[in-house]
Amino acid sequence: MRKLTGYALILLIAVAVGGCAMMPPEEDPVLVKLDDIDRRLSAVERVLANGSLVDLTVQVDGLQRETAEIRGRTETVEHEAEITTGRQRDLYVDLDERIRLLEERMQGASAGSVSVLDGGSLAPGQLPVPGGSDRDNYQAAFELLKQQRYEPAAQAFQQFLISFPDSQLADNAQYWLAESYYVTDKFDEALGQFSVVINQHAESRKVPDALLKVGYCNYELERWNDARAALVRVQDEYSDTTAARLAEQRLNRMDDEGH
């Protein structure tokens, strides 16, 4: 019985050793682990050998520097944007204030214009649109003339010429001032004012009409020779105008009347 047991132990050891000897190397876990460690070690050695790790480190450092530069530029742009925004805000405030003042002036001018055009009167030396532009005051004076309010119209044109002597509308204002006298039969006053148009605004388009009215005024004052001279001059110097045709009609009338 003891002998049989010894044989059995020997047999078991032989089987175990034979089993290990028969296991393929690729299935041995120890060998597999060793192979994996060997591969990883080889990969690290290759990286160190060709300098790839050094290159990566250099690239990372370069990216960090570029990031710092971009951050600095961004902060500069933000600072400049804040300055620009402040300047724009100041400009907006200034522009808003200027618009407000202009609106107040326009409102005041409008109120003054309405009071005159609605039946008010002009004080001596007062413009129809106090504080208004030359064009505003010219238009207000002309509106009075259209309303057949000839006396305030004459006052408005007179003050216009005093206040805006260099206005581009001065020749027109001078003509309508004379006209406001003519339509109210103040022929002497009208004659003098029409003459101002001719003498002081020689390049004005109103000159032919003013010269025609000089002839008309002299006609009404029965100054026949002066009237004829002015009307003939209109025909000679401004032959292609409506004024020339009206001058011819008045000359024919004078002929018929024996003047």
Asked if 149 contacts 176 with a C-beta cutoff of 8 angstroms, the reply is no
Distance CA 104, CA 101 (A): 5
How far is residue 190's CA from residue 92's CA, in Å, rounded to a whole number?
52
| Per-residue confidence (pLDDT) for residue 87, from 0 to 100 | 65
What is the tens place of the pLDDT at every residue in 200-216? 999 999 999 999 999 99
**pLDDT tens string 105-138:** 555 544 444 456 666 677 777 888 988 999 999 9
Contacts 24+ apart (CB under 8 A), 220-225: 220/185, 220/187, 221/187, 221/188, 221/191, 224/254, 224/259
Q: Is the pLDDT of residue 26 over 70?
A: no
| Residue 173: band (very low, low, confident or very high) from pLDDT cuts 50, 70, 90 | very high
Name all domains of the chain by residue range, CATH numbers in brackets: 70-168 (no CATH), 190-259 (1.25.40.10)
Question: Which positions ≥6 away from 26 have C-beta within 8 Å?
Answer: 32
* Distance in angstroms (rounded) separating the CA atoms of residues 16 and 215: 150
- State mean pLDDT over 14-18: 47
Question: Which of 201, 206, 205, 232 minimizes the C-alpha distance to 219?
Answer: 232
Structure tokens at 99: 């618009």
pLDDT at 155 (0 to 100):
94
What is the mean pLDDT of the segment spanning 245-258?
95
Please state the rounded mean pLDDT for residues 66-87.
Answer: 72
Instruction: Report which secondary-structure segment, H or E, holds 82.
Output: helix 52-117
What number is the average pLDDT over the span 152-181? 96
Could you give the CA distance from residue 134 to residue 153 in angstroms, rounded to a whole number?
A: 15
Residue 19 has pLDDT above 80, yes or no: no
Q: Would you state the pLDDT for residue 21?
A: 47
Q: How confident is the model at residue 78 (pLDDT cuts 50, 70, 90)?
A: confident
**pLDDT of amino acid 83:** 74
pLDDT tier at 77 (50, 70, 90 boundaries)? confident
Q: Tell me if 157 sits within 8 A of 180, measured CB to CB.
A: yes
Taking the complete model, does pTM exceed 0.85, yes or no? Answer: no
Alpha carbons 98 and 104: distance in angstroms, whole number: 10
Percent of the chain residues topping a pLDDT of 90 = 49
Contact present, 130 and 111 (Cβ < 8 Å): no
Residues 6+ apart with CB under 8 A from 201: 170, 171, 174, 207
